[in-house]
Amino acid sequence: MRLEVGSFPVRDACFGTRMGWVDGVLEIDREAVLAAVRQDPLVSTVELEIARPGESVRIWPVRDVVEPRVKVNGPGVVYPGWFGRSIETVGRGRTHRLAGLGVPEVSSVNWHDAGGDFVDQYLDMSGPWADLIPQSALVNVCCVVEPEPALAVQTKNEVVHRATLTVADQLAAAVRDLTPPDVEVFELAPAAASLPGVVYVQCVHSPQAMSHSEHTFCTGTYGLTRLAPPWLLHPNEILDGALSGPYRTMFATSWTVVNNPVLLELYRRHGRSLRFLGVIVFRTEWTTQDEKDLMAGQAGKLAAMLGAHGAVVTWDAGGNEFIEVVHTVRACERLGIKTVFLTSEDSAEGGAPSMLKPVPEADAIVTTGFFNASLLELGRLPPVERVIGYRSKSAGDAVDATIAAGEEVATAGAIAPPWRYDDHYGFNRLSAFAY
Amino acid sequence: MISAIYDLALTTGASRVVRGCRIEHVCGNPDLGPEKDHEYGLTILRTALGALTTAVTGPTLFDPMESSAEVVHAS
């Protein structure tokens, strides 16, 4: 499976009369893009707005950020499986991408009506929060979209994400037939057997148990987020967006997963210092002890059958899902597979352990910080000159965990950062010292 | 402590842990229908009450589906 990825760097974007990419500047025919979105009769309103790094702009709320990609040749479509998109296996041929550009998905639509999940993520384009969030360094072409109000919440979610993917498709089409300034070839070519085989176990949350939704939100595998036994994906499939979707943290957006430094670094070391064997995508939030242990055992078995000497394990959630994740680490270790675990930590306040369950086999852990953004002690983030999206936020509308029910807050003002800072894949540059 | 994820409860040092059903419905199972669900819930509760009157020396698992307590110490 060979994939050429052609990158078109974007340093600025502007609205104009045609679609085109010239020397790092993307010109966008706004009306043409909006017309493509409005072909969906379930879209009520849609707008496009551009936010550039360094501007005094806040984008609120942000449900996803999508990197525009397009298949130039090879089977299937990028970000496959979502809401009617082709489910043909991707990862072959050539894909073009707009590097440094994101399409934030902005809408007041809640994930589901079951409660407990908050759409409280936002992007600042400058200031202390922007310094910590990788998507704040992108030229962001925001898709602000509302579905028809009478629809059920699951259908609303479909409409919103489909609109975002349509915008991304329209933007990426501008570079489909151009010659990219940079092409990287991704292929798991035969490598020396003396190199250690390494598998990447990427654990991704399933919303099924708590929201009873099979695909409302979260990182989907070909659009599916339901609880299912582990998948084996070729890393090229992930580079074509086979693992993507909206989520409640900036560290698990569609943009995040296709730019995951763990995936890319393992790939670039293939044939040099290791043999990259593939990606086990492990769906989490099973709700009995037996299911958790069964899936952990199966993930370890898959890794062993692939011939892994080593494994890297990441996850994108918190809470009880830690059990099947850390039991996967244990299962791999017990099969003789040296395993490294990347994780954010829970707050250690009051002497509590910073991980839910200590497991002796988890003896190589890389911390990427704490889940809770309040521990960064940023205080309230400074006001901004312009808001893209919604000018106020309140509980019960686009629900936000940082404010009390009934309270109405101006989003342009000084507000608390989103409460999650869960850098699952090591994007950040935070460091720590012992004293 | 009644817990669906009983392994975690044992590890954190709870003395008496009763095996619950699922995270979504710890003390019952709606799939069983009202009568059997009630019966199952009662069994869990009686197991919990029985656990309270049982002397233990460390974290111990009580399984409502078994008549006697299965002694499992946290590893």
Shortest Cα–Cα distance, A229 to chain B (Å): 18
Instruction: Tell me the mean pLDDT in the region A38-52.
Output: 98
| Chain A residues lying within 8 Å of B23, measured CB to CB | 209, 287-288, 320
Is the pLDDT assigned to residue A432 strictly greater than 80? no
Shortest Cα–Cα distance, B35 to chain A (Å): 23
Q: Which of A308, A300, A301 is nearest to A278 (CA)?
A: A308
Q: Which amino acid, A185?
A: V
Of A85-94, A211-220, A225-234, A332-341, minimum mean pLDDT range:
A211-220
| A403 band by pLDDT with thresholds 50, 70 and 90 | low
Instruction: Tell me the mean pLDDT in the region A356-381.
Output: 90
pLDDT digits (tens, 9 = 90+) for A248-301: 899 999 999 999 999 999 999 999 999 999 999 999 999 999 999 999 999 999
Give, as one character, the DSSP assignment of residue A412. T
| Contact across the interface for B7 and A356, Cβ inside 8 Å | no
Burial class (CB in 10 A: 0-12, 13-18, 19+), A342: middle
Q: What angle do CA A165, A159, A214 make, to 5 degrees?
A: 95
Q: Give me A346's structure tokens.
A: 């829970």
Q: Give me A190's structure tokens.
A: 């035969």
Instruction: Tell me the mean pLDDT in the region A243-249.
Output: 93
A302-305 contact pairs (CB < 8 A, 24+): A302/A199, A302/A230, A302/A232, A303/A199, A303/A201, A303/A332, A303/A335, A303/A337, A304/A332, A304/A335, A304/A336, A304/A337
- Provide the percentage of residues in chain B whose pLDDT is more than 70: 88
Torsion angle defined by CA atoms of residues A9, A61, A164 and A387, in that order, rounded to the nearest 10 degrees: -60
| Alpha helix ranges (H) inside chain B | 6-11, 34-52
H/E run at residue A236: helix A235-239
Any A CB within 8 A of B45 CB = no
- The residue of chain B with its CA nearest to that of A212 is B24
Instruction: Tell me the mean pLDDT in the region B17-39.
Output: 95
Domain ranges of chain B: 2-62
For residues A199 and A136, give the distance between their C-alpha atoms in angstroms, rounded to a whole number: 31
| Chain A residues lying within 8 Å of B12, measured CB to CB | 357
| Contact across the interface for A323 and B5, Cβ inside 8 Å | yes
Going from the C-alpha of A341 to that of each of A337, A338, A355, B5, the distances in angstroms are 12, 10, 12, 21
Any A CB within 8 A of B4 CB = yes
- The residue of chain B with its CA nearest to that of A356 is B8
Disruptive mutation site among B1, B2, B5 for chain A (greatest number of A CBs within 10 Å): B5
Any B CB within 8 A of A334 CB = no
Disruptive mutation site among A208, A287, A354, A356 for chain B (greatest number of B CBs within 10 Å): A287
Q: Identify the pLDDT of residue A211.
A: 77
| Contact across the interface for B7 and A288, Cβ inside 8 Å | no
Any A CB within 8 A of B5 CB = yes
| Chain B residues lying within 8 Å of A293, measured CB to CB | 7
Any A CB within 8 A of B7 CB = yes
| Chain B residues lying within 8 Å of A356, measured CB to CB | 8
| Contact across the interface for A292 and B4, Cβ inside 8 Å | no
Instruction: Tell me the mean pLDDT in the region A298-320.
Output: 96
Q: Identify the pLDDT of residue B12.
A: 84
Q: Give me B50's structure tokens.
A: 């029985």
**Count of C-beta atoms within a 10 Å radius of residue A410:** 12
- Provide the percentage of residues in chain B whose pLDDT is more than 90: 76
Q: Which of A419, A417, A412 is nearest to A56 (CA)?
A: A412
Is the pLDDT assigned to residue A398 strictly greater than 90? no
Q: Identify the pLDDT of residue A400.
A: 59
Q: Identify the pLDDT of residue B67.
A: 53
Backbone φ and ψ for A29, nearest 5 degrees, come out as -80, 95
Instruction: Tell me the mean pLDDT in the region A333-339.
Output: 98
| A78 band by pLDDT with thresholds 50, 70 and 90 | very high
Is the pLDDT assigned to residue A404 strictly greater than 70? no
Number of CB pairs, chain A paired with chain B, less than 8 A apart? 31
pLDDT digits (tens, 9 = 90+) for B50-72: 999 999 999 999 999 885 444 45
In DSSP terms, A99 is beta-bridged to: A9
Any B CB within 8 A of A289 CB = yes
Is the pLDDT assigned to residue A399 strictly greater than 60? no
| Contact across the interface for A209 and B23, Cβ inside 8 Å | yes
3-state secondary structure of A386: strand
Q: Which of A401, A426, A433, A416 is nearest to A115 (CA)?
A: A401
Is the pLDDT assigned to residue B75 strictly greater than 70? no
Is the pLDDT assigned to residue A397 strictly greater than 50? no
Q: Are A364 and A326 in contact (CB under 8 A)?
A: no
Give, as one character, the DSSP assignment of residue A411. T
Q: Identify the pLDDT of residue A31.
A: 98
Q: What is the mean pLDDT of chain A?
A: 93
| Contact across the interface for B4 and A289, Cβ inside 8 Å | yes
Instruction: Tell me the mean pLDDT in the region A43-62.
Output: 97
- The residue of chain A with its CA nearest to that of B21 is A288
Shortest Cα–Cα distance, B30 to chain A (Å): 14
- The residue of chain B with its CA nearest to that of A322 is B8
Its sign, for the CA torsion A369, A375, A377, A381, is: positive
pLDDT digits (tens, 9 = 90+) for A164-189: 999 999 999 999 999 999 999 999 99
